[in-house]
Copies of this chain bind each other. A is one copy, B any other.
């Protein structure tokens, strides 16, 4: 067994420095959040399992950042400003203090970047792979949150950034795409290991977007969630799908790649619908944030999501996004 500071020693040394004032120095049973009147708190939780959501050899700093960022992405998808988080780690006893130290260092960096602090947590041991769970809290002006259920017929469907890079990055880590040059491979891997939650964009879409979610299960699956919650259908034009440079180069060699990338998960881009009149505001936001925001389809009556080829013919959709069971 690796030498270790022990459960409380680790909390004191590595996690207490991350605690905000409401975290009471991580010395209490619970943490405090002041309620500002006229605000709603937005809360979300996401878990990651070693070997499922990240690779055992991934640097602990990046694992920590990804865990935080996937949750910040959920807050951004509601238009919320992130505030705090709580953390549960179930770690194999063989994980030494060094892993924990590096994990906490990753959190520390991202806390500064995203202006959030740690409120509390729990550390337990498991005989299986590491299981990490993070609860994130943010705030919106009361009533202004952007739900999945607000999409309306005639809305345009938009997505930020590029789609499919994370899943391609995972394939690179597993040895694929050696024909790409190193810079391309690195970019794809970075998308997988270190998503960029759109915390700058999300709150700016309050009053602009009718419905929003982030792309975590896959573009088609997540748009399906919006459609189901809103009681509408959507059509996506495959040719509109925003691809990165490396993904475009791979698509030249594999013409069916884009149709597979629409079901790939882990992009953590914002997917939203907005009325046509909002187009100039969205284009201004894209310019201001130097972030591509691409119209990829429309909301229509009915149910389900159709994927359309340039000739208007339906493209079969393979797997409906990643499922854990």
Contact = CB atoms under 8 A, between A and B. Distances in A.
Contacts of A173: none
B43 A229 contact: no
Contacts of A8: 323
Q: How large is the interface on A (under 10, 10 to 19, 20 to 34, 35 or more residues)?
A: 35 or more
Residue from A78, A119, A128 with most neighbouring chain B CB atoms (10 Å): A128
Residue from A4, A5, A133 with most neighbouring chain B CB atoms (10 Å): A133
Nearest to A32: B40
A142 to B, nearest CB: 7
Contacts of A214: 29
Nearest to A147: B28
Interface in A220-243: 225, 228-229
A56 to B, nearest CB: 12
Interface in A1-40: 4-8, 10, 24-25, 27-40
Contact of A44 (B52, B120, B138): B120
A28 B126 contact: no
Nearest to A320: B8
A125 interface: yes
B124 A49 contact: yes
A135 B45 contact: yes
B127 A28 contact: no
A133 B127 contact: no
A61 interface: no
A112 interface: no
A174 interface: no
A46 B89 CA distance: 10
A8 to B, nearest CB: 8
Contact of A124 (B53, B75, B91, B93): B53
Interface of A: 4-8, 10, 24-25, 27-49, 51-53, 74-75, 77-78, 80, 86-88, 90-91, 93, 119-129, 131, 133, 135, 137-138, 142, 145, 147-149, 213-214, 225, 228-229, 323-325
Closest 5 CB pairs of A and B: A128-B128, A35-B35, A37-B37, A30-B44, A131-B131
22 contacts: A6-B323, A6-B325, A7-B325, A10-B325, A27-B229, A29-B75, A29-B213, A32-B41, A33-B40, A33-B42, A35-B37, A35-B39, A45-B87, A45-B133, A47-B88, A47-B122, A47-B133, A49-B124, A52-B124, A123-B325, A124-B324, A131-B131
